[in-house]
Structure 1
Amino acid sequence: MKLYNIKENDEQVSFGQAVRQGLGRNQGLFFPLELPKFEDIDALLAEDFVSRSTKILSALIGDELAEEEVNALVDAAFQFPAPINQVKDGVYALELFHGPTLAFKDFGGRFMAQSLAAVSDGGKITILTATSGDTGAAVAHAFYGMEDINVVILYPKGKISPLQEKLFCTLGKNIHTVAIDGDFDACQALVKQAFDDSALREEIGLNSANSINISRLMAQICYYFEAAAQMNKQERENLVVSVPSGNFGNLTAGLLAKALGLPIKRFIAATNANDTVPRYLETGKWEPKPTVATTSNAMDVSQPNNWPRIEELCRVKEWGLETLGKGAVSDEQSSQSVKDLYAMGYLCEPHGAIAYRVLEEQLQDGETGLFLCTAHPAKFKEVVDDILQSDIDLPAPLAKHAVMELLSEDLNADFDALKQVLRRVQ
């Protein structure tokens, strides 16, 4: 597999290099030089989740890893299901929260950890990543206890849910968590500064586990196929998918699934009040505003890092950006959608509810709707309980970590201070 830097096309790397490196020169994202196309989709969808995912990822990676090796990585990473749940006639929820940290990022985080171990050259590695909530837990648990890999996770202090924080800030060992005085975009800016410092990158073996790492995105492609595999042929051939979007990695993966041959009719990018992309699709002007805090905090991103990949894919495939559906949802509207879903017998949280609301507004007669539920409702217990006047139970992973002591350190959004942390944890 060859990948090129979107910003500097002459930089081309292998899959292993892209996984180890994370970003290219000038903070450029890596993108596949060629995309395979599966012709017999029905046969592919007839396979089980692990076997099908092995074929998809092997086709992307090429001969760099033998198919048996890829199968071992997938088998170790995808040890939990991605079921669809019908909430009403013609509308399904894709539940991506059945992994160890109860969020969709378990798929990408665990596959990246397995991939990095497979392509590592034996040197020490420092994973630096920013999180708006769920990435932190998925990455922390995926890499916890791995030899010669230190993980440093930056998150906006006071701007993620208490249970999200507990899930990844209580581990210790090789997992180091830093609460930044700022928003997610400030955390992301620090990560970018670190990658721009070539001397620091070399010194500590810097890598990132955000969805900027291509292995994360590749893993996420697989659950779109898994969702379609659980539908009948008629449903999946008129399928509209609504994706709750923050950093836009999930939507990128879905569009890549379509590029590989999955017959998805169209996608909808659903955001909260941080609506840079919906406004851009409406006006053609990229005008990020300051990030605002919402009840769907994992989507509180004003400058989504993965958007350049979506534009590149649309350019390569000659898809017009105008074919993307879009919608921005307020906290009040998402709360009402949580109530509406609950009245139908489905417990959801604000991120999934946002995707459901925009899907409901745009779904047409004869179409099948699928919205992504990216986290277990209990990860947002305070918000969901307040909306529904309920007291939802904590699943075992959350109950375990809820009583543990936070191990994070506080830090100003200052790059020199972060460098000191990165050197200290070696």
Structure 2
Amino acid sequence: MELFNLKDTGQRVSFSEALQKGLGSNQGLFFPAQIPKFDDIDALLELDLVTRSSTILGRIIGSEISQQDMADIVSTAFSFEAPLVAVDDNIFCLELFHGPTLAFKDFGGRFMAQCLAKIAGDRPITILTATSGDTGAAVAHAFHGLANIQVVILYPKGKISLLQEKMFATLGGNIRTVAIKGDFDHCQQLVKSAFDDAKVREDIHLNSANSINISRLLAQVCYYFEAFAQLPEDKRDNVVISIPSGNFGNLTAAMLAKTMGLPIKHFVAATNSNDTVPRFLKTGEWAPAPTVATMSNAMDVSQPNNWPRIEALFEFDYLDKDVLSGQAVDEDYTQLAMKQLAQVGYVSEPHAAVAYRALTKQLSEGQTGIFLGTAHPAKFKESVENVLGQPISLPPELAECAGKEILSVELDNDFDQLKDYLYRELNIQP
């Protein structure tokens, strides 16, 4: 597989190099030089999740990973289901929260960890990543205990739910967590600054596990095929997918799936009040506003990292711009959507509720709608209970960590402080 840097098209790398670099020069994202297309989608949809995903990923990545190794990687990474649950006659929720950290990012995090362990071998690696909620847990659990890999996770202090924080900030070992005094965009910029510092990058052997890493993005492509595989055949022709969007990795993966031949009719980029993209799609003006805190905190992102990849899909004529529309959903309508879903017997957390509300605003007669359930409702126990007025029990994965001590350190939004911390914690001489 060959990829190129969207900010420096002369920089060409293999999948292995992109996996280990994370970002290209000038903080550029890697993008596939070629995107394969599957001709017989129906036959692909007949396969089980692991076999189908191994086929898709093997075709994309090519000979760098043998088909047997790919099958082993995928069977280890995708060891849980992604059920498509009917909410009404023509609307379904793709539940992506049945992995070990109860969030969709288990797919990408575990696939990346297995690929990196296979490719890097004995070479030391430091994963530096930022999280607005669920990435932290998925990455921490995927890499916890892996030899020669250190993980440092930045997150905005006080701006994620306590249970989200407990799932990754209590592990210890090779997992280090840092609460940054700022918002997620500040955390994200600190990660970019570290990658932009050649000495830091080389000294610490930096890699990132955010959705900017191509391995995570490719893994996410697979569950859109799984959604279609579970749809009745007579509902596959006119499908609209609404995706709760923060960093826009999930939407990028969905659009890659369409590029590969999956017959998705339309995409809705569903955001909360951090509505940079919906405004851009309406006005053509890219004007990020200051990030505001919402109950759907994993989407509290004003400058989404993956947006350049979506623009590339348009620019290189893989997709027409009219396949995408945006829809912002404020706090009041988020709560209303949670209540509406509860009335039909479906308990949802805020992110899925945003996607559901956006879908119902844009779905036309005769269309089938799918919205993504990206996290287990219990990860937002307090918010869900407050909105719905009913208790939610904790699944074992959350109950186990709820009483553990948070091991994080706190730092200012200051790159020099972060750099000193990294050198000190990893015992590296500056």
Please tell me the TM-score bracket, short chain as reference. over 0.9
User: Cα deviation per residue 1:278-320 (whole Å; 9 max; x = unaligned)?
Assistant: 0000110100000000000000000000000000012223533
SS of structure 1 residue aligned to 2:364: coil
| Mapping of residues 177-188 of structure 1, within 5 Å | 177-188=177-188
Cα shift readout 1:349-403 (whole Å, capped 9, x = no counterpart): 1100010011111111111100000000000001001001111000001001000
Residue 7 of structure 2 contacts residue 29 of structure 2 at CA under 8 Å; is this kept in 1? Answer: yes
Contact 2:4/2:11 (<8 A) preserved:
yes
Contact 2:265/2:323 (8 A) holds in 1: no
- Moved runs in structure 1, 4+ residues, more than 4 A? none
- For 1:376 and 1:416, locate their aligned partners in 2 and report how far apart those are by CA, in whole Å: 36
Return the alpha-carbon distance in structure 2 between the equivalents of residues 212 and 198 of structure 1.
Answer: 18
Task: State the match for 1:284 in structure 2.
Answer: 284
Distance across 2 between alignment mates of 1:199 and 1:2: 26
Secondary structure of 1:10 counterpart: strand
Q: What is residue 6 of structure 2 aligned with on the other side? A: 6
Q: How far is 1:122 from its partner?
A: 2.5
Q: Would you say the 8 A contact 1:259–1:317 is kept in 2? A: no
CA distance in 1 between counterparts of 2:372 and 2:327 reads: 15
Structure 1 counterpart of 2:341? 341
State the AA in 1 paired with 2:55.
K
Kept in 2, the 8 Å contact 1:238–1:265? The answer is yes
In structure 1, give the amino acid aligned to 2:26: N
Query: 1:150 is matched with which residue?
Result: 150
* Shift, 1:236, TM fit: 1.4
Aligned to 1:210: 210
Aligned equivalent of 2:111: 111
Aligned counterpart, 2:274: 274
Q: Over the residues paired in the alignment, what is the CA RMSD in angstroms?
A: 0.8
Amino acid at match of 1:339: K
- State the Cα distance separating 1:118 from its structure 2 match: 1.3
CA distance in 2, matches of 1:19, 1:318: 23
Q: Is the 8 A contact 1:281 1:322 kept in 2?
A: no
Q: Percent identity?
A: 61
Question: 2:8 aligns to what SS in structure 1?
Answer: coil
Q: Which residue number corresponds to residue 140 of structure 1?
A: 140
Aligned residues: 426
The code of the aligned residue for 1:46 comes to E
Deviation at 1:134, TM superposition (A): 0.2
Please name the residue that 1:324 is paired with. 324
The match for 2:92 is 92
SS across alignment from 1:88: coil
Provide structure 1 residue ranges, at least 5 long, that are not aligned to the other structure. none
CA distance in 2, matches of 1:10, 1:227: 37
| Superposed counterparts of 1:356-371, under 5 Å | 356-371=356-371
Paired position in structure 2 for 1:306: 306
Q: Is the 8 A contact 2:126 2:151 kept in 1?
A: yes
Q: Is the 8 A contact 2:259 2:319 kept in 1?
A: no
Structure 1 length-normalised TM: 0.99
Q: What is residue 198 of structure 1 aligned with on the other side?
A: 198
Are 1:224 and 1:254, in contact at CA under 8 Å, matched by a contact in 2?
yes
Partner of residue 388, structure 1: 388
**What SS does the aligned partner of 1:152 have?**
strand
**Match status 1:423 vs 2:423:** yes
Q: 8 Å contact 1:281–1:321 — kept in the other structure?
A: no
Distance in 2 (CA, whole Å) between partners of 1:145 and 1:54 is: 25
Contact 1:77 1:110 in 2 (8 A): yes
8 Å CA contact retained: 2:5, 2:29: yes
| Contact map agreement 1:96 1:103 (CA 8 A) in 2 | yes
